[in-house]
Amino acid sequence: MFFTPYFLNWQSRELFVLTYGALVAQLCKDYEKDEDVNKYLDNMGYNIGIRLVEDFLARSAVKKCRSYSETANIIAQVAFKMYLGVTPTVACSNTVRNQFSLILVKNPLVDFVEELPASRSSLCYCSILCGAIRGALEMVHLIAEVALIQDTLKGDDVTEIAITFSNKIEMKKPKRNK
């Protein structure tokens, strides 16, 4: 299943959120372990991210980012706003400036979810976001670890996604024959 969540209005956002909830519910029925569901959602997000980046670059007209900080800000201020209708706060987590947190006070993916069942306490309901970010970054030649650190469905006040940039993928230029 592949879809591109273009949120042009509140009705399509609600449809996406409800459809996503149904998808997660079905995955929970199909897989006994939360880890398997988390892995599936992350992989699905990754596949969305590698395809969504072309649309993002075409529609946003952003220029090449010169730093990890600029990249994190573009993800928060442009990509999240464009596809989810929210703008997370960006916080830098270290002095090297390669670790950032995207902090969502309101997470649209959990709008219709009251709480996770006790039997699904290790389910990362929003891990699709982590995969999408990781996949999109890889397509622009950035390697990053992306993880859900805080989750409102687990009692936290906010949803926090941590991004740790590890390095850039170097593209080798072909040698020209003279």
Mean pLDDT of the chain: 88
Does residue 3 have a pLDDT over 70?
no
Tell me if 119 sits within 8 A of 134, measured CB to CB. Answer: no
Chain centroid to CA 36: 18
Q: What pLDDT digit, counting tens, does each position of 96-151 carry?
A: 889 999 999 999 999 989 888 889 999 999 999 999 999 999 999 999 999 999 99
Nearest-angstrom CA–CA distance, 134 and 121: 24
Question: Which three-class secondary structure state does DSSP give residue 165?
Answer: strand
pTM for the predicted model, two decimal places = 0.87
- pLDDT per residue as tens digits for the range 20-40: 999 999 999 999 999 999 999
Tokens coding 151? 């989750």
